[in-house]
Amino acid sequence: MNKLQKIIVLTLVSTSALAWVMSKDQPDMMKAMMTYDSIAIALFTVSWTTGMAAMMFPAISPMVLLYNRLIKNNDNNADSISNGKDKQVLSSTSIVIEGKNDNANSNNEAVDKQQPSSSYYFIKMILFVGSYLAVWALTGLVLLLAWSVPMNSFVVMGIEKKQLDIIYGVLLIIAGAYQFSPLKTVCIGYCESPLSFFMRRWRSRIIGALKMGTYHGLYCLGCCWPYFLLMIALGWMNLLWMGLFACIIFGEKMWSKGIWIARIAGIGLMTLGLIAIVLAPNAHSLLGVGDDGGGGGGGKVNNHNNYRSDKNSNTNMNSNMNMNMKVNMKTMKM
């Protein structure tokens, strides 16, 4: 690992560490769901994106490191790699990449002979990681707004906590079953094998960095979306669950047989979902449903009810004040 690669790893890890510190204080997600307040939604999006940086940056470090070596190798036609194995891998990859570039544009040879500045590499790296993170930022926003629809419906219907436990148990079973799906297998294959990803999705120049970062984000989304759906749906936006899911994701991406970690996690989620459904009639919920401060789904519904009660109270107060003013005006006229 050369000096630049050490800097990249240090940057990713330090950014992740800082994001973990910032993630300890979460904004009120319930207010964003209930009121659709633009400021509350913006605060959630910032907090969510920070959490994604904390959870995902360590896991994507091999992908970022290989991308750095590939753009230097492709642009400079350099093969000065520290060991023979890396040299062999990058040489074979360079053939594929250069073949695509030759078919795309005959002027690439002239471009390859130029010596790009260090800022050129820096911009491409920033765009690659930034577009990846943008995919997760949009994902959090979509999950928040999409889940707010059934959540507000639960409040209107006055759904009971045992019914909520059944709903959340079903979500856990669905999330666990997805770990055995073909789509999960395909996506995790590209996440745990950066070389396979670049051989399939390589794009040159600045726009290529944006496209590949987006593709990488979409593959990660296809691999990990159940974990983040549960974080929003069950109110598990805290350091404990974030840390647990981050460890699972890290293991899935860093180990060549990460699919087995995913399947073990899937069995655990399905088991937890079945237990939640079985225990639903009991007074105490396994998932914290019905607890005011538990961070589970029941606390979310209680918070929704509080918002709604406050809103109704304010509406009734304003109505009474308007009625009293009208009566007083009529009395003065008489």
Instruction: Please write the tens of the pLDDT for every residue from 173-196.
Output: 999 999 999 999 999 988 888 998
pLDDT in tens, 220-252: 999 999 999 888 888 777 788 888 899 999 999
Whether 214 has a pLDDT exceeding 90, the answer reads yes
Model pTM above 0.85: no
Q: How many CB atoms are located within 10 Å of the residue 156 CB?
A: 9
Mean pLDDT, residues 80-108 taken together? 43
275-303: buried (b, 16+ CB within 10 Å) or exposed (e) per residue? ebbebbeeeebbbbbbbeebbbbbbbbbb
pLDDT given at position 285: 56
Q: How many CB atoms are located within 10 Å of the residue 216 CB?
A: 25
Token pair, residue 8, equals 């990249």
pLDDT in tens, 246-256: 999 999 988 88
pLDDT given at position 77: 45
pLDDT given at position 287: 60
pLDDT given at position 5: 76
Query: Which has the closest alpha carbon to 94: 74, 66, 68, 123?
Result: 74
pLDDT given at position 111: 41
Residues 304, 309, 310, 314, CA torsion sign: positive
Mean pLDDT of the chain: 75
Q: Of 235 and 272, which is predicted with more confidence?
A: 272
- Say how far apart CA 20 and CA 171 lie, in whole Å: 27
Token pair, residue 93, equals 């990859």
pLDDT given at position 74: 67
Token pair, residue 200, equals 């399939």
pLDDT given at position 219: 93
pLDDT in tens, 119-153: 778 889 999 999 999 999 999 999 888 888 888 77
| Share in percent of the chain as helix, strand, coil (round to 5) | 80, 0, 20
Query: Which has the closest alpha carbon to 170: 267, 263, 274?
Result: 274
Q: Of 120 and 212, which is predicted with more confidence?
A: 212
Q: Of 86 and 168, which is predicted with more confidence?
A: 168
pLDDT given at position 109: 43
The answer to whether 256 touches 132, Cβ cutoff 8 Å, is no
Query: Which has the closest alpha carbon to 52: 186, 176, 292, 220?
Result: 220
pLDDT given at position 117: 63
pLDDT given at position 75: 57
pLDDT given at position 167: 87
Mean pLDDT, residues 46-51 taken together? 89
pLDDT given at position 288: 54
Q: Of 325 and 12, which is predicted with more confidence?
A: 12
Residues 135, 140, 145, 150, CA torsion sign: positive
User: Cα-atom radius of gyration of the chain, to the nearest Å?
Assistant: 25
Residue 11 confidence class, pLDDT cut points 50, 70, 90? confident
Question: Which residues, in sequence order, are CB contacts of 114 under 8 Å at separation 6+?
Answer: none
